[in-house]
Amino acid sequence: MELRVLMGFVLSFTLLELALTHAASSSEVYWQSKLPTTPMPKALHDLLPSEHRSDTSDGSRREKGRGIGFKDNAISVGLNIGGLGIDVGDDGVSVDFGHDDESPLSFDYGRSENQLASNPNAAHFFLGKDLQPGAKMNLRFTKTGAKAKFLPRQVAEVLPFSLDKFSEILDKFRVNPNSTKAKIIKASIEECEDQPLGEENKYCATSLEAMIDYIISKLGKNVRVIATEVDKDNTKQQEFKITGVRMVGDKIAACHAQNYMYPVFYCHEMHATRAYMVPLVGADGTKAKAVAVCHFDTSKWNKNHMAFRVVKVKPGTVPICHFLPEDHIVWVAS
């Protein structure tokens, strides 16, 4: 009980402090202070907590504009941030887990034939020579990460996030250890804790503020941020035609949305890699501005990676490219 009570007190203090803190502590204002000349992409802006959420359905008192509810129990504080409901107390933390797809793109991850056939990201891989106007590809753009909103940094840093604390995580979030959700949570944490690939530098950001700090440490403050945007939700698998190709930069880092209860992004620097903006038009008229990344050195990738199965080449032979899902982010040093 001591750990739960301590966690309850710490989180209660943190949330109370957040409720009383000026709006300057928000993630959006933090972005503006650190990256004043860099527009925030829609993919990240959509994950910001609502500034004007008011919900009293649980009977607790909501403070307008904060999204934080205070309950009678001194060590129980309810937090509701833009669709992610967290109930913090000495009986654990309850979170609505809204996603159970497979792990997103990872260049040291092998795939079996049946996993390859069922993974929507498989069709996103193609040879570098095929990245040109007029080329046609069968694609489906999806969102792969959590449906909830970013947690405030002060909350995210208190919650455990490591394999050493896996049992505690399941307990706090009330997840059955034998469930599919538990397997997905473990896979996401394992991906974050695996050794980097070759010279890759990697980091898993559990808040937007943490992501910003990581990117600045690697690329500086003079950066552009790009993400795939599609004008329709839930696009079906269909033929898309490339209508243009524009190279954006070659000093880049990517942040991939993980499958977790709240937004967690696996970020890494990429070497011998170029990023492109690629407008596409689907057979049904769907329009997309897609981010394509081309890797010119795949020699250290897992030889069983889905990319080699899709384009039928061996590691380290020819450039391999892929489009990014809608909620993956590419940062480019200007």
- 19 and 165 assigned to the same domain: yes
**DSSP assignment letter at 235:** P
- 162 and 229 assigned to the same domain: no
- 134 and 90 assigned to the same domain: no
- 121 and 59 assigned to the same domain: no
Domain that holds residue 31: 2-97+152-172
**Can you give the pTM of this predicted structure?**
0.77
- 68 and 121 assigned to the same domain: no
**56: in domain:** yes
- 329 and 213 assigned to the same domain: yes
- 92 and 10 assigned to the same domain: yes
pLDDT of residue 243: 98
pLDDT of residue 196: 76
Find, among 270, 231, 228, the residue nearest to 253 by Cα.
Answer: 270
**192: in domain:** no
pLDDT of residue 58: 35
Burial of 212 from C-beta contacts in 10 A (0-12 / 13-18 / 19+): buried
- 327 and 268 assigned to the same domain: yes
- 79 and 206 assigned to the same domain: no
pLDDT of residue 121: 58
Q: pLDDT tens digits for 220-276? A: 999 999 999 999 876 788 999 999 999 999 999 999 999 899 999 999 998 899 999
Q: pLDDT tens digits for 120-162? A: 556 589 999 999 999 999 998 877 666 788 998 989 999 999 9
- 134 and 230 assigned to the same domain: yes
- SS3 annotation, 277-332: EEEEEECCCCEEEEEEEEECCCCCCCCCEHHHHHHCCCCCCCCEEEECCCCCEEEE
Cα–Cα distances in angstroms (integers) from residue 283 to residues 45, 176, 243, in the given order? 29, 43, 13
- 158 and 206 assigned to the same domain: no
**177: in domain:** no
pLDDT of residue 146: 63
**105: in domain:** no
Domain count, the chain: 2
- 261 and 225 assigned to the same domain: yes
Q: What is the pLDDT along the chain (334 residues), one digit of tens a residue?
A: 444 544 444 444 444 344 433 333 489 999 999 999 999 999 999 999 875 333 333 333 333 333 333 222 222 333 333 333 344 333 334 344 444 344 435 555 555 555 555 555 565 899 999 999 999 999 988 776 667 889 989 899 999 999 999 999 999 999 999 999 999 999 999 999 987 766 678 999 999 999 999 999 999 999 999 999 999 876 788 999 999 999 999 999 999 999 899 999 999 998 899 999 999 999 999 999 999 999 999 998 888 888 888 899 999 999 999 999 888 999 999 8
